[in-house]
Amino acid sequence: MAVRLIADVHSSVQGINEMVDPGDTLLVLGDVLGLIDWADFSGILPEVLGEENLRSMLFRAFAAGAEAARRMKEELLSPEGEFYELLRKRVLEDYREFRRAVEESGCRALVIYGNSDLPEVMEEVFEGSTAVRLVEGVVEVEGQAFGFLPGSLKSPFEMPAETEDDFFAERLETMGEVEVLCAHVPPDLEAATFDVVAGRHQRGSAALLRYIQQKKPAFVYHGHVHQPAQRSLELGSTRVVNVAYFKRERYVHLHEPSSGRA
């Protein structure tokens, strides 16, 4: 029975059952849902809205500024919106497919949400499952204290799973010391936040960086940055690992406690 980790599934669940064994614990570090993949402009939003229509909507929103971006988000996610019912149907289908894939694999999955996820819908779909659990805070996994920090930092679109930096700090303070910390976003370190393909930095958490410096967990695992400048790095006695872009790389990371601090 192993502890394995994936991140950034983006609705691509094929093959999960071949990459884990019955009895394993699979930690899923956010972005189970594939709303949009900026690398190839695939995902639920382009499929439901139409690629050209979505490009036009995004262009207008970006050109008009942050308030227009927020209005676009509200238009898409509000029950009164033109595309809401179609979007909700697709979101439910994709979360249900993920649940089925985990249940058929025979493993159990502890899941946190990322910036592309809709937490309330995840809770609805995962409710009643003995295999899939949405988690936050401290959970004992194979005898170790694991901390789970879901969500992402604010962007112009202000998606439901995005929060203010201060809220991250409050949750980390409440969590206290853990041996392993699992988050969706990386700490605010250049090597961890820079995406070499996109050619830009994703937002990293300054609060998470302070937590590592002060609490010194053996491991910090995260996702969010699909093609990082550095996949793994050492920060003092803490090993910080991006567990990879599952949708593209089909990689499952094996947690090996012996490779942490002595």
Using a CB cutoff of 8 Å and minimum separation of 24, what contacts does 48-55 make? 48/83, 48/86, 48/87, 48/90, 49/76, 49/83
Provide mean pLDDT across the span 192-199: 86
Nearest to 182 by CA among 234, 243, 226, 130: 243
Nearest to 118 by CA among 14, 35, 184: 35
Q: What is the pLDDT of residue 262?
A: 41
8-state DSSP, 42: B
Q: What is the CA radius of gyration of the chain?
A: 18
Q: Provide the residue type at 249 as one letter.
A: E
Provide the domain limits for residue 171: 3-259
Residue 146 C-alpha from the chain's centroid: 16
Provide mean pLDDT across the span 25-43: 90
Provide mean pLDDT across the span 148-177: 88
Which is higher by pLDDT, 236 or 154? 236
Q: What is the pLDDT of residue 97?
A: 97
How far apart are alpha carbons 118 and 78 in whole angstroms? 13
Q: What is the pLDDT of residue 80?
A: 80
Q: Is the pLDDT of residue 250 over 60?
A: yes
Q: What is the pLDDT of residue 102?
A: 96
Provide mean pLDDT across the span 60-83: 80
How far apart are alpha carbons 176 and 190 in whole angstroms? 25
Provide mean pLDDT across the span 94-109: 96
Q: What is the pLDDT of residue 142?
A: 93
Q: Is the pLDDT of residue 104 over 70?
A: yes
Q: What is the pLDDT of residue 148?
A: 98
How far apart are alpha carbons 251 and 185 in whole angstroms? 18
- Percentage of the chain lying above the pLDDT 90 cut: 65
Q: Provide the residue type at 94 as one letter.
A: D
Provide mean pLDDT across the span 17-21: 92
Report the domain count for the chain: 1
Provide mean pLDDT across the span 12-16: 91
CATH code, domain carrying 89: 3.60.21.10
Other Cβ atoms closer than 10 A to 81:
14
DSSP 157-196: T--TTEE-HHHHHHHHHHH---SEEEESSPBS-HHHHEET
The token pair at 158 is 């202000």
Provide mean pLDDT across the span 138-160: 90
Provide mean pLDDT across the span 240-245: 95
Backbone dihedral region for residue 85 (phi beyond 0: left; psi -120 to 50: alpha; all else: beta): alpha
Please, what is the end-to-end C-alpha distance for the chain in angstroms?
23
Q: Is the pLDDT of residue 260 over 80?
A: no
How far apart are alpha carbons 53 and 51 in whole angstroms? 6
